[in-house]
Amino acid sequence: MKLLVIEDDPKTSQLMAKGLSSEGFSVDVEQDGEAGLQAAITQRPDLIVLDVMLPRIDGWTVLSRLREKDTRTPVLMVTARDAVDQRVRGLSLGADDYIVKPFAFAELVARIHTVLRRLPNAAASDALQFEDLRVDLARHKAYRADQPLELSNKEMLLLALLVRRHGEILTRTYIAEQIWDMKRDADSNVVDVNIRRIRAKVDDPFARKLIQTVRGRGYVLR
């Protein structure tokens, strides 16, 4: 899947491009509205991540002109304000979803998958799976041995991260950056608390334990 990120902040765009590339996407970046609009028309990406505040022309104008050209490429708007009028304006212009800064990277990935899943030619399911554990972010559902798991939003994102990176040891710092925000204090016990909550639902009722602690390093699903 090819993504186009239109974001004027170099650090933010670089982080998004690096992270999304690691998720298996092909990512192009433009840092102003006019260049982004041209790239959207000529490159025909599968999805556009579009910031609202851009130089030359803003994100609203980019979106409006895309839709005027009958370009149906899905657009995920990025805004710094979680205001109703901002959301209504974006959706009215033809945005498919929105995300508010600052956001956790895992939420960005989840929203991208949710939007892509709505495409007519999308696969029947983009659920993540490891052994008898399945996580479907698009539907906000998770199952262990076909039994539904009741998870909060953050627990769902954390479990999806563990499944996506199964076999890899994930440090507390990495998990905190991915699930909460990139500036969260890695010494916080928020990661440990949420791992305990997930284990109570994913592992405790079953003989086979999937989430393991690697002392002094972090957690791994294997």
pLDDT at 124: 42
Residue 99 has pLDDT above 50, yes or no: yes
- Span 108-120, average pLDDT: 85
The burial of 141, by beta-carbon neighbours within 10 Å (0-12 exposed, 13-18 middle, 19 or more buried), is given as middle
CATH code matching the domain that covers 128-221, chosen among 3.90.105.20, 2.60.40.350, 1.20.120.420, 1.10.10.10? 1.10.10.10
pLDDT band (50, 70, 90) for residue 121: low
Residue type, 45: P
- Identify which of 30-44, 64-78, 166-180, 181-195 has the greatest average pLDDT: 30-44
- Span 60-69, average pLDDT: 93
CATH code matching the domain that covers 2-117, chosen among 3.40.50.2300, 3.40.190.10, 3.20.20.20, 3.80.30.20? 3.40.50.2300
pLDDT digits (tens, 9 = 90+) for 13-26: 999 999 999 888 88
pLDDT at 123: 46
- Span 72-85, average pLDDT: 84
Average pLDDT score, the chain: 88
